[in-house]
Structure 1
Amino acid sequence: MTDGTAPGSAPFSAELANTLSEAIARRGPGHVARTHHLDEQGRPRFTNRLALETSPYLLQHAHNPVNWFPWGEEAFAEARRLGRPVFLSIGYSTCHWCHVMEAESFEDEEIARFLNQHYVAVKVDREERPDVDAVYMSAVQQLTGSGGWPMSVWLTAAREPFFAGTYFPPRDGLRAGSRGFLSLLGALSETFHRDPDRVGKAAAALVEAVRQDMQGTAAANTPSATKELPARQLIDATIAHYKASFDGEHGGLQRAPKFPSHVPVRLLLRYVRRTGDREALHMATLTLEKMAAGGLYDQLGGGFHRYSTDAQWLLPHFEKMLYDNALLVVAYAEAFQLSGRADFARVARETCDYVLREMTDSDGAFYSATDADSEGEEGRFFVWTEDEIRHELAPLGSKTTRLFLEHYDVRPGGNWEGSNILNVPQADEARWAALGEARALLYEARARRLPPLRDDKILAAWNGLMISALAVAGRILDEPRYLAAAKRAADFVLTRLRSTDDELQRSYKDAQARQAAFLDDHAFLAAGLIDLYEASFEARWLAEALTLAQATERLFADPTGGWFMSSARHETLIAREKPAYDGAEPSGTSVALMNALRLGVFTGDDHWRKIAERGLHAHAQVLRERPIAMTEALLALDFLADTPLEIAIVWPDGVADAADAAAPLLTVLRRTYLPSRAIAGGPESAIEALAETVAFVRGKVAQDGRPTAYVCRQGRCELPVTDAAALSAQLGRAAR
């Protein structure tokens, strides 16, 4: 191969060049460099330090002509040595516009040369470093009023931003006349050197704005400053806001693009349980129905794409993210409990099956995402022409083919850029069932296409969400496969994602655990383990959840209430985020709030409730002024305002098929929507041992040698029952 030196850069030292060569050699002869800069033998002409990383996103850029550095002191020391500004680019592996900017600018030798001669260029995978992403996204939002990826930020060597944006076209006049990236690089470099005072003032002002944005509001809301907890009426006001903005025809909000997270379905379901509001139920069920019927949902393989670019849920942005699918499984499973709709159970199952089939490591953990693009086109893997479908379905006959074309809205000219995105204009479960063989044939045909890139790094936080999803679906849908998969993943994360000092790590790739875990890693994983305990009654999962929650307090808690994203183990950045926004993923704050409340019910220790109350105090101003910004925190508020049920199922020791004997009672629990509860269970000996941790199981025994259910609130219990109908009646009264 060539020496790998990027245009406009000094040659690498012999030591670094050898290290890079060895890293590339380890990837094996099948490794394909993601670049069009190849020599006569098809080898990459350029290589940079990203070749030493494990992140799929960083590796995508390892052979750009840009002399990229990973985030770290080496890059900023180089900027100080050369007296240059830093250009910071943040994105993720399945980001379509990140790919566009790479192809247009970072693969352009002229642009790369200028960047290498005048800047130190740094790449960050936002999924590995959410702390860095959050800080500089705040800077982008302060300057532009919006955000997104790819994120482009100009920094001083002190890591202070002085200019920022997102995607830039390569040159002036392209993409609707936006200023070009090359022009910006030149203008900002000139300003940096010609007018350092101006740059310093801009950086100082922006750093202060970022600190205020990420810390100031939350810090002002200490328990002493905010005497009263946010009230449950905030939920009512939030639901009223969504009612006013609801799209009554297509579900979701009256807007485009549409994201599944824009309507908080799980909050709507809790509101329905409490109030019986039929309009709120319609909003939740219509949104779920239309999302699953649209192109947003993969009609052949299951699972959801990232978001819909239109208002009808038809035209997706085709990437698939693990976290979206995990969160939607829980929403569909809970909606099935409340509504009894079989189609919701089916979508939850298909989504779990998709993850287990296509997004699961051989050792049981879950991959992060798949790309929108394949064969150089967005969506190419997922779309069809009518002729392609007719050809593949010919063995099934014309009647089945005609039924498929009608059911999935397949048109001769296509419904998107000459191709068809499969969708269901008129839902019909009987017709869906009749077309199972046709879907299987097309899925097999699709599998022969070149698939989109898969980001196979394993993130603790997102695995926690998927463990929750499989545990909840396994419990509600009575599917042992899902529980088994959740247990394998939990074992993987708890053992493999560990540092040498046994602290949780965020990311795992190529047999390496990397990066000290953040708040959301601890909180999401703890939540998953609580759900896994309720689904399996294996006490070790609850014990691990308690350990993680205690670590959350030790590492991330703010004494005034709430939690920081990072801990003392992490790099000190220009600001330390206190998360206060639930977006596509819930914030670590909101999940930690719910964890504390749930563990408080399990343990009977008021310490956990006080932690949650301090957290709500700390974010009271945000919750009162902008409750739609923290809708996941409103789930915790609803839990706190309720009196959660304490439910124990106990069966005798040593009785053959005792768990099967308890099945009628467990079936009642599976079918009953009880969002504010803690559920424990097991044979009498296990319950006796569990009583050291779980307060409400103390003294609970099987009555007359039969599986027995206890329904309690704050230690006050209904009469124990051994009959499923009696348990159902008790739960029905308790839910009112």
Structure 2
Amino acid sequence: MPNRLADATSPYLLQHAENPVDWWPWGPEAFEEAERRGVPVLLSVGYAACHWCHVMAHESFEDAGLAGYLNERFVAVKVDREERPDVDAVYMEAVQAATGQGGWPMTVFLTPDKEPFYFGTYFPPQPRHGMPSFRQVLEGVDAAWRDRRQEVGEVAGRIRADLAERAAVYSAGAHHPPGDADLHQALVALSREFDQTRGGFGGAPKFPPAMVIEFLLRHHARTGSEAALEMAVRTGEAMARGGIHDQLGGGFARYAVDADWVVPHFEKMLYDNALLLRVYLHLWRATGSELARRVALSTADFLLSELRTPEGAFASALDADSLDEETGASAEGAYYVWEPGQLVDLLGPADAATAARLFTVTADGTFEHGTSVLQLLADPEDFAEYEEIRRRMFEARASRPAPARDDKVVAAWNGLAIAALAETGALLDRPDLVEAAERAADLLLAVHLTPDGRLLRTSRDGRPGTNAGVLEDYADTAEGFLALYAVTGEAEWLQLAGGLLDTVLKHFTDEASGALYDTADDAEELIRRPQDPTDNATPSGWTAAAGALLGYAAYTGSDRHRTAAERALGIVGALAGRAPRFIGWGLAVAEALQDGPREIAVVGPADARPPRRCAGPRCWHASGAVLAVGAPGEAAAEVPLLADRPLVGGAPAAYVCRHFACEAPTTDPAALGARLGVVLE
């Protein structure tokens, strides 16, 4: 019989709707029930593509005996961390502070007042490797709750006080935005952590450092630093050739478990692929690399073919696990790995040998049980042969049982995808990608944007969820709309971005310091209001908002938005030299601020302006520059950057400005390219 999760919009919650555990969704009713019964709350947090979440579900939450014990002595609350990143952030901070580590599934025991007092992540069904079983944990917590209630309350109170102390507002206003010295210091610190042999930063596991690469590329564009470019290029190539990159279907896995990028954790997330699409586009723009161009296009095609929903937006993720046809059981990576014998059966001995050499499929294997994750360690000598083999392998793989898809739509991650697809479509002459970006944006407007201008975080099947948007939803959606304006010239996107950013200023910003909160001032009150300027798998909402505010100010001349961006960037100056790997997007935005950012206005007759392309394949984003294209006088009221920009001698003209102070206009593409440091084709 389905439990209370049966009506959820979250695929993760729906995965637990048939559990014998009497799950409650997060909400006041669950905590009122715990208070009424006088029992603690078990909070279990995960997400649909999480491998160990599935494992714990099968081992423990589907066990009728364990569920009966749990239902009798606890109120069980299940949360999708992707729907409620605020709940996840608050309790994950407590888990990490108490245990020194974190991860999902996250298992936290709370008082009915939402105060945490015992923490963990995955617990096995039997004791192993020094970990207690989940049943032992439940019994221990239950005993403590019954026999040492005062002690439990004291522990919970201390933890809440510690979290409140940690949550002291970051003093963004106490620091200046990072200057040249700070950005150089960040580059030096990154150089020390750079893996000269394998690319990337640090050791295993290795995560794609998308935000850091954006900083490195912008720093190179502004300063000419070859060290910055080398780190970006070597990391990009290592990831593109490694097993973390799906060599057949495009797109990237969440991370590599090893330092060589060989073996991925096979889940494929929308946010990673949106960010990496933009990274490879910008690597191509900086270097002309054909590999970067191929990867950008294949990643864009992956988004459209595998993650696009029927409503036109983009689903959150593909699972790491799928059915292994040989064993009949679900296994991580089963959809993606190959054995030499499978190549022979599919391709015949000669082509199988070529495929094994191209994709590094070995007899010993690079993964489990003699299977290999595909890599492309060097470009093929015969691209036609490579493409034919790749096509046949891809079609054969498509007949395997596919990983499940988490098809909920997250506003922030769709904002990232909109920006990446719009830019890629413009720069690589793929109007279908721009159309896909517009359609996703239309879905956000129709389903996620409420009549009072507020955003809802998620939807599914065109049905809006109930969870309020957090800071990253407003910031990343605004970033996507700004990119759409740059590509299409449709002023509505600029106005919509401005509305979202006004909400950021009104509801997410601390007026005294300029610091930003992850939740709005009228959001549900948790045991603390979450706030974090550092990047995780995505740009922090704080620095993403700073970037969108800065871009909007460059289009409109709004001193209010620019000042807010500068104040928000103060924290980046404080962290630039100490933790550059975790403030990468903030550093990239700071590069744009140092560069102006440059404001490029191109005016010309409407019939001579391609509607879905910018004014040249490499024409903007020199360290975060903005581009406005229009006919003389067109949309000047809506786009101040275009105001008072006449033709020159009757010919289309380009104006390059900073702070709305412009150099002399030019009608010569070569002269414009020289000013921007690019070659306009």
TM-score interval, normalised by the smaller of the two chains: over 0.9
CA contact (8 A) 2:218 2:624 kept: no
Select 1:177's aligned residue among 100, 124, 130: 130
Q: Deviations over 1:109-167 (max 9, x none)?
A: 33222211111111000000111111111110110112111000000000110111111
Aligned to 1:477: 428
CA contact (8 A) 2:338 2:374 kept: no
In structure 2, the CA distance between the partners of 1:115 and 1:500, relative to structure 1 (3 Å rule), is: farther
CA contact (8 A) 1:668 1:728 kept: no
Find out whether 1:106 has 2:61 as its counterpart: yes
Aligned to 2:506: 554
In structure 2, the CA distance between the partners of 1:498 and 1:645, relative to structure 1 (3 Å rule), is: closer
Q: Deviations over 1:82-105 (max 9, x none)?
A: 100001000000001111111221
> Secondary structure of 2:627's partner?
strand
CA contact (8 A) 2:636 2:642 kept: yes
Partner Cα separation in structure 1 for residue 480 and residue 68 of structure 2: 47
Aligned to 1:441: 392
Equivalent positions of 1:711-726 (< 5 A) are 711-726=656-671
Aligned to 2:343: 389
Q: Among all aligned residue pairs of Structure 1 and Structure 2, give the percentage whose two residues are the same amino acid.
A: 42
Greater CA deviation, 584-593 or 187-196? 187-196
Partner Cα separation in structure 1 for residue 471 and residue 479 of structure 2: 12
> Secondary structure of 1:666's partner?
coil
Partner Cα separation in structure 1 for residue 24 and residue 468 of structure 2: 20
**Aligned-pair distance for 1:286?**
0.9
> Secondary structure of 1:533's partner?
helix
Aligned to 1:269: 217
> Secondary structure of 2:615's partner?
helix
Partner Cα separation in structure 2 for residue 285 and residue 722 of structure 1: 34
Aligned to 2:326: none
> Secondary structure of 1:152's partner?
strand
Aligned to 1:242: 190
Q: Which amino acid in structure 2 is aligned with residue 107 of structure 1?
A: E
Aligned to 1:205: 158
Find out whether 1:423 has 2:410 as its counterpart: no
In structure 2, the CA distance between the partners of 1:662 and 1:633, relative to structure 1 (3 Å rule), is: closer
Q: Which amino acid in structure 2 is aligned with residue 633 of structure 1?
A: G
Aligned to 1:297: 245
Select 1:363's aligned residue among 311, 317, 322: 311
Find out whether 1:458 has 2:375 as its counterpart: no
CA contact (8 A) 1:668 1:724 kept: no
Partner Cα separation in structure 1 for residue 350 and residue 646 of structure 2: 60
Partner Cα separation in structure 2 for residue 147 and residue 409 of structure 1: 34
CA contact (8 A) 1:652 1:705 kept: no
Q: Which amino acid in structure 2 is aligned with residue 333 of structure 1?
A: L
Partner Cα separation in structure 2 for residue 480 and residue 501 of structure 1: 32
Q: Which amino acid in structure 2 is aligned with residue 545 of structure 1?
A: A
CA contact (8 A) 1:89 1:123 kept: yes
Find out whether 1:700 has 2:651 as its counterpart: no
CA RMSD of aligned residues (A): 2.2
Partner Cα separation in structure 1 for residue 265 and residue 381 of structure 2: 29
Q: Which amino acid in structure 1 is aligned with residue 609 of structure 2?
A: A
Q: Which amino acid in structure 1 is aligned with residue 536 of structure 2?
A: G
Partner Cα separation in structure 2 for residue 63 and residue 662 of structure 1: 47
Equivalent positions of 1:292-691 (< 5 A) are 292-375=240-323, 376-394=330-348, 399-424=350-375, 426-428=377-379, 430-499=381-450, 501=452, 503-514=454-465, 515-560=467-512, 561-617=514-570, 621-623=574-576, 625-653=578-606, 655=607, 658-659=608-609, 666-667=615-616, 669-670=618-619, 674-684=622-632, 688-691=633-636
CA contact (8 A) 1:343 1:429 kept: no
In structure 2, the CA distance between the partners of 1:273 and 1:618, relative to structure 1 (3 Å rule), is: closer
**Aligned-pair distance for 1:662?**
12
> Secondary structure of 1:269's partner?
helix
**Aligned-pair distance for 1:478?**
2.2
**Aligned-pair distance for 1:199?**
0.8
**Aligned-pair distance for 1:717?**
2.9
> Secondary structure of 1:472's partner?
helix
Partner Cα separation in structure 1 for residue 464 and residue 521 of structure 2: 19
> Secondary structure of 1:192's partner?
helix
Higher relative contact order (CA 8 A, sep 6+): 2
Larger radius of gyration: 1
Greater CA deviation, 416-425 or 469-478? 416-425
In structure 2, the CA distance between the partners of 1:546 and 1:661, relative to structure 1 (3 Å rule), is: closer
CA contact (8 A) 1:400 1:435 kept: no
Partner Cα separation in structure 2 for residue 475 and residue 388 of structure 1: 40
Aligned to 1:149: 104
Q: Which amino acid in structure 2 is aligned with residue 136 of structure 1?
A: Y
Q: TM-score, normalised by structure 1?
A: 0.87
> Secondary structure of 1:445's partner?
helix
Greater CA deviation, 124-133 or 236-245? 236-245
Partner Cα separation in structure 2 for residue 389 and residue 734 of structure 1: 44
**Aligned-pair distance for 1:562?**
2.4
**Aligned-pair distance for 1:720?**
2.5
Partner Cα separation in structure 1 for residue 104 and residue 654 of structure 2: 51
Tell me, which stretches of 5 or more residues in structure 1 are unaligned? 5-46
